[in-house]
Each structure stands twice: as structure tokens, then as C-alpha cells.
Structure 1
Amino acid sequence: MNAFITNANYHFILKQATNAFYGAQNTNDEGVKNALRFSCIDKAQAIFEELEVEQGQLIGKIFHIHSEEELEAFGAKLQEFLIPFPLVTDATIKKLFPKVKKLKLPTLSDEEIKQLVFLGWNDTSAQKKFIIAKHDGKLTGIQGNFTPTSKKGICAFCHQNERVGLFKADIKTKGSTDNFRAIGQYICADSLTCSSNVQSTNRLDAFIHELKS
């Protein structure tokens, strides 16, 4: 069976498996437990337009998770079929951000990079954030000013309650080559945490699309 699970898919499927396992602990009614398990399996399978039989069966193993050890083993099994995040090099950085000089990759292990939904990092001296993500089938880079806040809030990308900041980027106004307008979102200050929380790239994709359109 070939790799078919993106890192965002992985986070979502594992969340459903976790919901099924811990939710089942709250009732002694086997009918309710089974209904919850089937519901979680349906949600996990529904994120794919099409699944091969073996792929569907893999996700269906959620039904048989009855311990934390089995939940952990299920997560490890899913990782065997992950589509890794593309390799990012200094040459990639120069191509995606040609106007930014001396831009360096953040220090991450090979394993951390493989499991990214997107790669992001802060340049605190310039108060900027840089993001590299897959968009329309290829790596895309976006950058903008980043102003951290002192409070937690809901991140626009991962939709979790984390320490956030305002990420604001300029885009050209339609019909003009000289005028710009700013668009912004409150997103996680820590991009690695954000990436590990993302269960769907829809919000990130929509933001990149608005910047690039």
C-alpha cells in the first residue's frame, strides 16, 4: 500500500481515533460505543475523495482500539503511509523568497521536517514571519509582518487556542501595479506547534490563495 496520508490527514485521523477511544470510556452501553466508533471512522474516511480497500481497512482499525497502547500503535501504523513534507533547502529558500537576503532555515530535525503540514519561522529582528507550504501542488512561500500578542487566541490556520500574533501581508490591488492593501490573520506564534495542530489545510490554502490571486 502506497503512502496516501498527508500530515494534516494524519492529525485528523488520529484525533478521530482518540475521540473514539476516550469517548467509549464514558459509557457502558456497547451500542453507544460502537455507534461512536463507526461515526469517527466515517469522519476519518470522508476526508478522502476515494479510498482503496486496504486504505479504508487501515482507518477502520479505529473500531478495535481498546487501550492507550493500541491507540499509540495505530498512530505509528498511520505514519508508515505518510506523504512526507517536501525537502526544503537553502536553494528552495532563495527561489521562494528571492528578494530576502541571508534568509536561513530554522533548525529542525529531518523527522520534524518530514511531518510538517507547513514550514514557518519568525525573524524577530525584522518582526516578520515566513511560511512555506504546498499550494496547488507545489511549494509556495509567503511572508509578512508578525506582531505577537501576550494572550492566547484561536489560530486562523489550526483553529486551536494557542499563543497567537497578527500576521499581515500586502497584496496588490486589482487593476493597479502600484497600490497595495494589507490582509491579516491571527495565527500561532510558534509555527511548529501550529503545524502539528493542523487537521485540515483549507484555511491556510484560502489565505495563500488570497495572497497569490
Structure 2
Amino acid sequence: MSTPFIRNHHFNLIKNQANNLLNAIRTVADLRVVETVRSSVEATIVELFPEASEEQLKLLRAVITLETASDFQRYYASLEPFLTEFPRITKDQIVKLFPKNKKLSIPDLQSIDYRYVTYLSWVDVGSNKLFIVYERNGKFVGVEGRATPTNKKNYCFVCNKYEELALFSAVSKKRPANASPDYYKAVGNYLCADSRECNKKLTDVTALEGFLRAVLE
């Protein structure tokens, strides 16, 4: 039985690296350069999994054998059984993360393919609020804030891709000592208006986790 070990953002990075290799194969005439790219891609992928078993490393290192577009597609397909799912979360668990929202709108959790989810996010159109759920240190955390469409494309702070953005602004839970009762600090940044697309492109969780810390701690 396959033991999942590849997180969604790692899978995205593997595909990005493999696509770099495919592009080199297609466009670079010097075979020495192609082999250099091949070695670099292999090293970058392997470094993502310092605790990988020999069997897992063999699966990952198959990238160095690829030559055609069909080879690359088969490689991606071979990795999919090893994708770890975003932890399943229930409606009741989500409600507990956002206790002040008495009429919380929740997406259809049954329709989500959790293999391709790094963070769960949705917009409540009625309140114009955006909600993010993330698993951190074995526990779910939730952040909510105002979502303001920009109707413009730029770079998302989460996936760092050029996409249609929304300005997400959340109130930090951290309060300085002796703060006045009406004190608040907003933490804002631009992220993909479509979280599904963001999850497809996300290759590093550093920025996302930093934003969550800024809001929650």
C-alpha cells in the first residue's frame, strides 16, 4: 500500500522543476547543459524530502530518466498516489474556528479533492469576508478578514504567481500591553482571488505561515 509523503505544495514544486527540465530538453542543443539541468532538478526535488526512504527516493529520482512530454505526464501520475491529503475537517470544526459568525457560509466539503489543498479558503459573498483554514502543528487554525477585489493582476503573496488578486485584510489578535479598548491592528496583503488556483501554484508555505502568525500571535 502506498504511504503518502508528498504535500500539495511539494508536488507543485516538483512539477515546476520537471517542467524546467522538459523546457531545457526541448530548447537547448548542448547536451551538457541539459544534463546539468537534469542533475539540478533531481537535487532540488530530493532536498525537499530529507527523511525519504530509499523506495521514495527511487520514485522521485525517476525524473532524471524523462525525455518526452508523455514521460513527464506519466511521472506526475506515478507521484499522485503518494500525495498527502489536507486533513479532513468537518462543518462543526469550522464553525468552532469562527465562533462570532452565527451565519457562517461554508463550502461543500464533500466536493473538495484534499490532495491538492495546502490551505482551505472561501469567500462569503453576503458578508464579503474571506476565510482561511490551515493545519498548523497538528491543529486547525482559522483566519477571517475583509476581501476586496482589485480587478487587477499582480503577484500573489502566497503563491507568488501573476494572478487576479483580492486585498485580504484581517485584524491581528495580538494586543500590546495597556492597549485602549478600541485598539486594533489590521494585517493585509494581496492574494489570489481564486484560492483553488492559488493551491495549484503554491510551492512554498513560508509566506502563508508568516501571515497567519502575524494575525494569530
In the other structure, the counterpart of 1:192 is: 196
Deviation per residue, 1:99-155 (Å, 9 max, x gap): 112223223654523321111111122111001111223221110011010110100
Q: What TM-score, normalized to structure 1?
A: 0.93
| Residues 1-213 of structure 1: pairs in structure 2 closer than 5 A | 2-107=3-108, 110=111, 112-171=113-172, 172-175=174-177, 176=179, 178=181, 179-213=183-217
Q: Report if aligned partners of 1:122, 1:128 keep a CA contact under 8 Å in 2.
A: yes
Query: Where do 5+ consecutive residues of structure 2 fail to align?
Result: none
Q: Within 1, Cα distance between the matches of 2:109 and 2:93?
A: 16
Q: After the TM superposition, which parts of structure 1 deviate over 6 Å for at least 4 consecutive aligned residues?
A: none
Q: Within 2, Cα distance between the matches of 1:123 and 1:112?
A: 20
3-state SS of paired residue (2:99): coil
1:180 Cα offset (Å): 1.3
Q: Report if aligned partners of 1:93, 1:103 keep a CA contact under 8 Å in 2.
A: no
Q: Among the aligned pairs, what percent are the same residue?
A: 31
3-state SS of paired residue (2:113): helix
CA RMSD in angstroms, aligned pairs only: 1.6
3-state SS of paired residue (2:27): coil
Q: Report if aligned partners of 1:117, 1:195 keep a CA contact under 8 Å in 2.
A: yes
Q: Report if aligned partners of 1:123, 1:129 keep a CA contact under 8 Å in 2.
A: yes
Q: Within 2, Cα distance between the matches of 1:159 and 1:73?
A: 27
3-state SS of paired residue (1:148): strand
Q: Report if aligned partners of 2:105, 2:124 keep a CA contact under 8 Å in 1.
A: no
Q: What TM-score, normalized to structure 2?
A: 0.92
Q: Report if aligned partners of 2:107, 2:122 keep a CA contact under 8 Å in 1.
A: yes
Query: Where do 5+ consecutive residues of structure 1 fail to align?
Result: none
3-state SS of paired residue (2:185): strand
